[in-house]
Amino acid sequence: MLGIEWKRTMRSERPFLLMLLDLTGLQSTPRFSDKLEKIKEAIVSCSRETDISGWYESKRVLGTIFTEMSSVDNGSIEKISRKMKNRISETLGEEWARRIQISLHVIRFPEANI
């Protein structure tokens, strides 16, 4: 799906945002699969119908592609990051949420950095 979205970005020149949740800090915890299901629910509650979620790296890193964004700037990135962190904290609790590393990557064509 990442490749398909990259091609769409090249044609439309509209950026997308890739969010990666590194779950390796939770893998050795009891009831990891239960926590994983709660994380998936949190992601769905923070995303739109056009966004795409799935494994970036099986059972380690969950990815979400935020598509069709009118603009990707520091404000919108911070808003999405804060919303996701808050939702995961509400769902799992602060202690477990701290074990998840969230990274956000802007993908645009032509390639440029914010």
**What pLDDT is recorded for position 101?**
94
Share of the chain above pLDDT 70, in %: 87
Question: What is the rounded average pLDDT for all residues in the chain?
Answer: 84
Find the mean pLDDT for residues 82-106.
92
Torsion of CA 63, 64, 65, 68, to 10 degrees: 180
CA distance 8 to 4: 6
Residue 4 scores a pLDDT above 80: no
Question: What CATH class does 2-107 carry?
Answer: alpha beta
Say if residues 4 and 12 touch (Cβ distance below 8 Å): no
Residue 110 scores a pLDDT above 70: no
**What pLDDT is recorded for position 62?**
93
Residue 82 scores a pLDDT above 60: yes
**Model pTM?**
0.80
Q: Could you report the per-residue pLDDT of 21-76, keeping only the tens digit for each?
A: 999 998 888 888 889 999 999 999 888 888 889 998 988 999 998 887 767 788 88
Q: Where are the domains of the chain?
A: 2-107
